[in-house]
Amino acid sequence: MTTYTVLPIDPTALKELRVADDAGRACVPYLATSDDAGSPLRCCLRPIELGERIALVSYAPLRRWAAATGALPGAYDEQGPVFIHAEDCGGFIPGEGYPFDRAGALRTVRRYDARGHIAGGRLLEIPVDATAGFDAAFDEAFSDPEVVLVHVRALEYGCFFFEVHRPSTEAR
């Protein structure tokens, strides 16, 4: 069991993205090809399977969080490409460990403060014990009292994978 709760794209945001993405473009579903297979889906946090109906959309991961919290991320309200299922898939089912935790993969663990501004980050080369590696990275991030939110991103493309919020004191 992991110490931190992994959050995929929120179901309400997914409904919106399946109509128009955060860049204002219409969602264009298609059947996953061998080029897509294995890429991460941000709706259910698992790899794409050949032949699934998916879409590549532009997503701004801070935007809805900022609107809900009153944060003003300004230029940090960036958007980038993510894969989602074209229809409701039931979402993420938490299990043991973290999603996309292949040993040796490189991730950026980006920290944000309550304003939605970047408050640092670090490179994480996922170790063999991926859960311990992610837990240590999140422990380090949240040791800074200003950090309220962490995004895990791909190093190669900067794509958003998932987010983790500061755990409440009663959950820890």
Q: What is the pLDDT of residue 3?
A: 75
pTM for this prediction: 0.90
- 138-167 per-position pLDDT tens digit: 999 999 999 999 999 998 888 899 999 998
* Cβ–Cβ < 8 Å for 124, 137: yes
Q: What is the pLDDT of residue 103?
A: 95
Amino acid of residue 138: F
* C-alpha to C-alpha distance for 127 and 124, rounded to whole angstroms: 8
* Cβ–Cβ < 8 Å for 38, 75: no
**Which residues make beta-bridge pairs with 57?**
82
Domains in the chain: boundaries:
11-85, 106-165
Burial (CB count within 10 angstroms: exposed 0-12, middle 13-18, buried 19+), residue 61: buried
- DSSP SS3 for 137: helix
Strand 80-85 and strand 53-59: pairing? antiparallel
Tens of pLDDT, residue by residue, the chain (172 residues): 457 999 999 999 999 999 999 999 999 999 999 999 999 999 999 999 999 999 999 999 999 999 999 999 999 999 999 999 999 998 998 887 899 999 999 999 999 999 999 999 999 999 999 999 999 999 999 999 999 999 999 988 888 999 999 987 544 3
Q: What is the pLDDT of residue 169?
A: 53
Alpha carbon separation from 116 to 67, 94, 111, 128, 151 (Å, rounded): 10, 26, 9, 32, 11
* Cβ–Cβ < 8 Å for 114, 72: no
* Cβ–Cβ < 8 Å for 123, 104: no
- Ramachandran angles phi, psi of 133, nearest 5°: -65, -45
* C-alpha to C-alpha distance for 62 and 117, rounded to whole angstroms: 10
| CB neighbourhood size of 170 (10 A) | 5
